[in-house]
Amino acid sequence: MLLHPGTGMESLNDYKIRIGKGGVVITTLTAEDFNGEHDQRSWLYVLILHLVSIWAAVTNFTQALFIKTFKKRKSSFGKILWEMGRDSEHVSSFFGDRFSQINHQTISGAASWRSLDIVYNYHEKIKPQLNGGIESWLTKYWIGKLENRQAIANRLKIVVNLLTKAFAEFADESEIRIVSMASGSAQAVIDAMLRCPHLNIKAVLIDIDRTALVAAKDYADENGFGDRFAFVEGTTGVLEKVCQEFQPHIIEMVGFLDYRPTPQAIKLINKIKNCLPENGIFLTCNINYNREKIFLDWVMLWPMIYRNEDQFEELLLKGGFSPQNVYIVYEPFKIHGIGVCQN
């Protein structure tokens, strides 16, 4: 079984752990374990966040109602709200993205690699650009301070640690093969590969968004891995064919379960399990309920399928993995859980 994704520790015994209802080991890391973030917001910040979210809910729902009623749109309210959020011309919140282009880009790019690039790399790419004024203040207040932004950045660091350890599991292989499903810009895969220069790692990236694959190719080329990657534009429907030809040791799918209803998610996990060899590794994640959910729902117009610890555990087990071959790691906010499954 894989080592725990901490700071070189060899077992779970040094971590706060519990055993889930299905027998899976579930542990929560501290920020110090992986150089993460854990700046918890005050009750006042959370109160303001909820008030802003309620205001945005009223205005956005009113606009959606107008579109459905007077523009005769047959789509559901949910779909109309989703399209509004992804519209680069739509202002979701007067207090959120009207005066901050970065906030606006994060909202319009939600669920895509563009938004993830902002939140993953906020400290490196975004914060140095903020030089004062209302736009700078609003960006720092929302994107900078959100616990969800910190949690997503934490998720990236933990996934990189996990992938690095997963690669080490197959160090004796002449070639280590990984498939990244709904890969986005594949930052985690490439960052993990950078930690393993001595290993011959090959990757296939699958994503329905061509711009994500282009961004991934650019990042791979930038780091000297251009010849190790193949890119497939497609949905989960191509997974079995790709795996039949490529025969991966590892399949990584981070973020996609947040959009899959339970029956489809279980079916997909089972398909992934059947694509892996004996001792093959599947790495995935799911977002947990949290006190900023209202902000993601109504300011960012970013609907996701939230699952608590037990629901996430149940998903992996119903997908076919044995409890003794699964563990779940939560980052300090317990917003994002990362599941590691071995065949």
Express each pLDDT in 130-171 by its tens digit. Answer: 988 999 999 999 999 999 999 999 999 999 999 999 999 999
pLDDT tens, residue by residue, 104-115: 999 999 989 999
Question: pLDDT confidence of 71, banded at 50, 70, 90?
Answer: confident
How many other C-beta atoms are found inside a 10 Å radius of the C-beta of residue 38?
15
pLDDT tier, 194 (very low <50, low <70, confident <90, very high otherwise)? very high
Chain centroid to CA 4:
20
Q: Across the strands, what pairs with 230? A: 204
Domain 12-35+151-342 belongs in CATH node 3.40.640.10: no
Residue 228, H or E segment: none
pLDDT at 4: 52
Task: Give the model's pLDDT for residue 15.
Answer: 57
3-23, pLDDT tens digit by residue?
A: 555 444 444 445 578 898 999
Asked whether the predicted pLDDT for residue 340 surpasses 90, the reply is yes
Cα–Cα distances (Å) from 336 to 55, 137, 177, in that order, read: 27, 27, 26
Q: Is the pLDDT of residue 72 over 80?
A: no
User: Beta-carbon neighbour count of residue 219 at 10 Å?
Assistant: 19
What is the per-residue pLDDT for 303? 93
- Domain coordinates of the chain in residue numbers? 12-35+151-342, 43-145
Q: What is the rounded average pLDDT of the residues 311-323? A: 97
